Amino acid sequence: MADSNTPDIIYTKVDEAPELASASLLPIIQRFAKAAGISVGTKDISLAGRILATFPEHLKDDQRIADDLAELGELVKTPEANVIKLPNISASEPQLVAAVKELQDKGFALPDYPYTPETDEEKAVRAKYDTIKGSAVNPVLREGNSDRRAASAVKNYAQANPHRMGEWTADSKTRVASMDGDDFFSNEKSATLGGAATAKIVLEGASGATVLKDGVSYPAGTVVDATFMSASALDDFLAAEIEKTKQEGVLFSLHMKATMMKVSDPIIFGHAVKAWLAPVFETFGDKLEALGVNPNGGMGALLDKVKDEPEIMVAIEECRDARPPMYMVNSDKGITNLHVPSDVIIDASMPALIRAGGKGWGPDGKEHDTVCVIPDNSYAPVYDEAIEFFKANGKLNPATAGTVQNLGLMAQKAEEYGSHPTTFEIPEDGTVKMVLEDGTVLHEHAVKKSDIWRSASARKAPIEDWVNLAIERQKATGYRSIFWLDENRAHDAQLIAIVKPILEAKGVADKFEIMAPREATRASLETITRGENTIAITGNVLRDYLTDLFPILELATSAKMLSIVKLMQGGGLFETGAGGSAPKHVQQLHEENHLRWDSLGEFCALGESFRFLADVKGNAKAKVLGDAVDTATQGILDHDRSPSRKVGEPDNRDSHYWFARYWAEALAAQSADAELAEEFAPIAKALAEGEAQITGELAAPQGKPADTGGYYMNEAGKLATVMRPSETLNAIIG
């Protein structure tokens, strides 16, 4: 059970643009909720907060903070959980190191991040830091499966106000490149456990047997996978694609998930950096190692390490001149695709490129066709098929397109996103075995030194919950419903063996299709092109990818999606969309005091959270608040009150003013609760009468630099000054 002091609604404290926006929006939410006797509190799951909570022994008493993530992890296992979860940083190594440095500069005596730990103490510190990297938050909080879709108001607005789409042509040279073997997809093995089991992962090599991981426990019915990617095959593939891209005369780009896949993908990213700079590493390998260069950290960190080494800098320039032009994150600042592993996240970068007609920005500041390198072939066919579809059919028309909703299997660390503790870079040639406590060898692979081996799992209860959620949504909507499962992939074959009997037992097998991701992509694009709707029922990674791909095509953004996680113990987790563009938003705020972050995802989640509270606690006022939130959200869209991208025009803070005003007006006008109508009538009147004064006060600071006191950890007072600049609005809200 939840603690009696737990707020009715938890609003998470996160990072970057969503956290900046919270400083403006959260006081409004708390004021309105208070009128219904609803408390809205916060829990800190930010990267800075997680770092401080992990190292209390290094901090002064007044610097120590509670482990809010652990507390939330327990709360989401209770029926009382009602959490609004904003996008947080899934930290790559460079982000983690930068956050530690900022906190140290603020007086927190944290240990340095040990890149190459040698002593037991350094190894212990590194192990602690590694728990913070990657998808450290989501697996803890996601004790339920995902229901993500565009809210009706958002979809209607997108159709009435279609966004710009890049033109696709049949002769586009843009393509996806993936390995044709010896990757995670081709080497995967999978089995469903008949009973509860504990396994150990052992490497048998020339030096003997090494236990890589012991005591890995699984309940009965768990689907357990194991696979590896050949390092030599990866290197050969990258070298060939670099040369092929040069011959084709297009941009080279790498698309990875080096944040969520915090062990495997950073290593693959490092292989790409070494492949790109192969002549440099061949000539100066020992020197680079002595300088502490780790290619996994990206080209940006490498260049910083060698900036005072003229020979190496010249060699890098010569290498660059001999390579194809690279896809740029920021061509003005010379930031390449390989600079930082967290700069190019596949689920954001690939949809943006597809929406742009297959074009990426080159070093010349112009758009060009692009080779999109996605080494593993598990999910690359989705993007490959989408590109081929648009080459043949032209761009999607957002004004007439239907929608793709998503139901994602993600509860209890399902599939690859739960694989971090069981992913290893193999230290020597040998055989990796997963051995059960009775001696049964569940999986084994012959591997070479530097291969990347990993195991993942999906538990029976989340799988069954996922299938039942799909049945509910199909019944509620009548939409075409497709399980994105490939019978030729080991893991998917195990899932199909679970899915089909449930559908047959419920008498609904005829209402669902099962297709491999490539075929499902084409079917879904054909469906929405006709103006019809479909539900994609997918695993965890595809959930992540598709809930960016289709929203970015349909709505121009994935930040406006409605994301409901029905927690398996009865609680609710309401997610607010993606935060992939958040770093650029922060940069603009700091330089120009303009925040273009759109809080529409927060508005959508808020309405659902209030209605959920009304159902669970029988609070009728909460339902009135929730319904009024929807009216206010519709008002934001109908009157075009979303933030502008340009300094000097209305931004995130303006949209919050209009949201508060429309919300108050909706509450004042409703007849279901006279007390709320009476309380909010004067607030609505004051907000309307103060429009000119408030919008003027909000606009006044724009165009000048803004100081929030930090990047990973803002100072509360400075942040409030920046994000709540209207004294008139503050006085009305309180």
Which is higher by pLDDT, 492 or 559?
492
Q: With a cut of 70, say whether residue 32 has pLDDT above it.
A: yes
Q: Quick one: average pLDDT of 526-551? A: 96
pTM metric for this prediction: 0.84
Token pair in block for residue 685? 């009147």
The token duo for 40 is: 């809205």
What average pLDDT does range 229-257 have in this prediction? 97
Q: Nearest-CA neighbor of 202 among 420, 444, 425, 448? A: 444
Stated length of the chain = 734
Confirm if 257 and 341 have CB atoms less than 8 A apart. Answer: no
3-state secondary structure 402-443: CCEEEEECCCCCCEHHHCHHHEEECCCCEEEEEEECCCCEEE
Residues sharing a CB contact under 8 Å with residue 20, sequence separation 6 or more, in sequence order? 585, 586, 589, 595, 597, 652, 708, 714, 719, 722, 723
pLDDT by residue (tens digit) across 40-51?
999 999 999 999
Task: Give the model's pLDDT for residue 93.
Answer: 87
pLDDT surpassing 80 at residue 559: no
pLDDT at position 4, please?
A: 61
pLDDT interval class at 1 (50, 70, 90): very low
Residue 704 predicted with pLDDT over 80: yes
- Given a cut of 90, whether residue 134 has pLDDT beyond it is no
The pLDDT of residue 5: 79
- Among all chains, which residue has been given the structure tokens 């019978």? 487
Q: Which residue has the higher pLDDT, 88 or 671?
A: 671
Model confidence over 354-388: pLDDT tens digits?
Answer: 999 999 999 999 999 999 999 999 999 999 999 99
Tokens matching residue 10? 């938890």
Nearby residues of 681 by Cβ (< 8 Å), 6 or more positions away:
668
Q: Which residues contact 566 (CB under 8 A, 6 or more apart)?
A: 144, 145, 147, 469, 572
Strands 359-361 and 335-336: unpaired
**Tokens (6 digits) for 445:** 């692979």
Those residues with Cβ within 8 angstroms of residue 410's Cβ, 6 or more apart along the chain or in another chain? 138, 142, 145, 146, 417, 462, 540, 543
Q: What pLDDT is attached to residue 582?
A: 67
Alpha helical stretches, state H, 560-599: 582-592
**Rg, Å, the chain Cα set:** 26
Q: Which sign does the torsion angle of CA 257, 259, 263, 268 carry?
A: positive
Q: How confident is the model at residue 90 (pLDDT cuts 50, 70, 90)?
A: confident
What are the tens digits of pLDDT across the range 296-329?
999 999 999 999 999 999 999 999 999 999 999 9
**For residue 543, pLDDT beyond 60:** yes
Q: What is the pLDDT of residues 195-215, one digit of tens each?
A: 999 999 999 999 999 999 999
DSSP 139: H
Which carries the bigger pLDDT value, residue 344 or residue 253? 253
Question: How confident is the prediction for the chain on average, in pLDDT?
Answer: 95
Residue 407 in this model has a pLDDT that exceeds 60: yes
User: Helix, strand or coil for residue 586?
Assistant: helix
b/e map of 431-467 (b: 16 or more CB within 10 Å)?
Answer: ebbbbbeeeeebbebebeebbbbbbbbbbbebbebbb
**What is the number of other CB atoms lying within 10 angstroms of the CB of residue 43?**
22
Can you give the pLDDT at residue 577? 67
